[in-house]
Amino acid sequence: MTAAVTPSAQRVVPEASPRPTFAATFGAIFRGQFSRAKIAAIPIFIAATLQSVGLVVLLKGLIDSGADVTEQSVVAGSSVTVVSFVALNLLAQRFGALKASGALDYFGALPVRPAAVVTGTAAAWASFTVPGSILVAVGGAAFYRLPLSHVWVIGPVVVAAGVSLAGLGALLGLIAPRPEIATVAGQLGMSLVMFLGLVPAHRLPGAIQAVRAIVPSTYAVDAFAESFRAAPNWATIAVDLTICVAVCGLALAVSAWAFRRAVTTR
């Protein structure tokens, strides 16, 4: 009998799995966070919208009739306040809670980009503000008898303001040493955004105007307020939205750094 010849055993080296793309990670995170946030969607929608509707109605009796600039600022600022309620306030609380519970370690152990985690979470929660912002924008314009022909500008305004404020909210939650501090910081940030958005820049003292100039959402407010004019300056609107978008990128980049820092220092 002849012995069977068996091939020599070969060592198989498993290939490393390719790292998911930013788009794939963003989509997965967005869907997961959106499903979680749906439970609180109705209370969030009602609270954020009614708060801004109340501002529109309340301030009607405090401003001079026919003060177009002030009326435009009130409607635009109230519309962006809906965004700040969730994107800044609630996201600061959300990331503060994730950090305190150790849930960030789960994402830190995955081969995903921190920027995709932060952006996906921020986009999922901020998306619930879109219907409320549109409702306040259209209803407020009708209430103050402002022209509605360019009210569509609320679309890019919500996106620009939402992402920039979401990045700041995530940053506050990630750098805060305790979730309680993140909650307070988010609420104070929302109050600042609301105040600086509702009051026209020319009615603020010089020092506060300087503070207003570094708050990204005020550029979105100014862009939307400009759209209510009979002949809007589209160059001004484009510049304001471009500045807001630039801050979006910066805020998300810093938030991604804070995410890596929060995961590695635990």
Cβ neighbourhood burial of 204 (10 Å; 0-12, 13-18, 19+): middle
Split at pLDDT 50, 70, 90, the class of 91 is: confident
Instruction: Give pLDDT, residue 161.
Output: 87
What does the pLDDT read at residue 238?
A: 93
- Which residue's structure tokens are 């619930």? 128
Q: Is the pLDDT assigned to residue 6 strictly greater than 70?
A: no
Distance CA 94, CA 50 (A): 22
- Phi and psi at residue 256, in whole multiples of 5°? -65, -40
b/e map of 112-126 (b: 16 or more CB within 10 Å)? bbbbbbbbbbbbbbb
Amino acid found at 61: G
pLDDT at 139: 92
Residue the block writes with tokens 């290939």:
15
**Mean per-residue pLDDT, 181-199:** 89
Question: 145: how many CB neighbours lie within 10 A of its CB?
Answer: 9
> Does residue 230 surpass a pLDDT of 90?
no
Token digits for 43?
């209370």
Of residues 113 and 241, more confidence is placed in 241
**In sequence order, what are the residues at sequence separation of 6 or more whose Cβ sits closer than 8 angstroms to the Cβ of residue 17?**
111
Asked whether residue 147 carries a pLDDT value surpassing 80, the answer given is: yes
Q: What is the DSSP string of 93-147?
A: HHHHHHHHHTTHHHHHTSS--HHHHHHHHHHHHHGGGHHHHHHHHHHHHHHTT--
pLDDT tens per residue across span 248-262: 888 888 888 888 887
